[in-house]
Copies of this chain bind each other. A is one copy, B any other.
């Protein structure tokens, strides 16, 4: 019952790093074990199987990814533009620290269509969010009803997350070089809210 100093967490840290980088199928338990300075037997002792370990990592990652966002979206006090600013700023900071998160979630969610549905949703549907009401109100005020408000939500996510997801491609086609990518994203913290507000007018 007595767990050696942080062994379990050490394994999880290694698993997180490798799963996030290579995805479930391309990851070998050997790599995780080696990276955590233990052996495969111990990995299975703690987590029973590669699959179980993966699910745990996935759940925690989803929680990190959606958790902070949900608070912003449900705040009844803050103005709409403030929400967009917080959202862009917070996401860009989070993903700078763990750049593989978006790609990981998107690609593993594609592979396992239904496995994680209840862990994400279950609670809130998009149209129940405070931010969604605010978008609708803002569009009404400008007699702007030319399109579905869902586009706005999609755009916030697109403009924020896509650059991280597409980073290898963007570098390959020479759109950005590695050193200036961070500055570019820093600047987008300010630009994205502006662009989005403009779309509502």
**How many A residues, CB 8 Å from partner?**
51
The answer to whether A191 has its CB under 8 Å from any CB of chain B is yes
A154 in complex: contacting residue of B148, B163, B199, CB < 8 Å: B163
CB-CB under 8 A for A165 and B106, given A111-B22, A153-B175: yes
Copies of this protein in the assembly total: 2
The answer to whether A42 has its CB under 8 Å from any CB of chain B is no
The answer to whether A166 has its CB under 8 Å from any CB of chain B is yes
A176 in complex: contacting residue of B120, B121, B150, CB < 8 Å: B150
**Chain A 156-170 interface mask (CB, 8 Å, partner B; 1/0):** 011101110110111
Residues of A bordering B, CB below 8 Å: 22-26, 103, 105-107, 109-111, 113, 116-117, 120-121, 124-127, 147-148, 150-151, 153-155, 157-159, 161-163, 165-166, 168-170, 172-176, 184, 187-188, 191, 195, 198-199
With A110-B168, A158-B166, A161-B166 known, 10 other A-B pairs at CB within 8 A are: A106-B166, A109-B172, A113-B168, A126-B174, A147-B187, A151-B187, A153-B175, A158-B158, A162-B165, A198-B199
Q: List 17 A-B contacts (CB under 8 A).
A: A26-B26, A103-B107, A109-B169, A110-B168, A120-B169, A120-B172, A121-B173, A126-B173, A147-B187, A148-B187, A151-B191, A153-B175, A157-B166, A158-B162, A195-B195, A195-B199, A198-B198
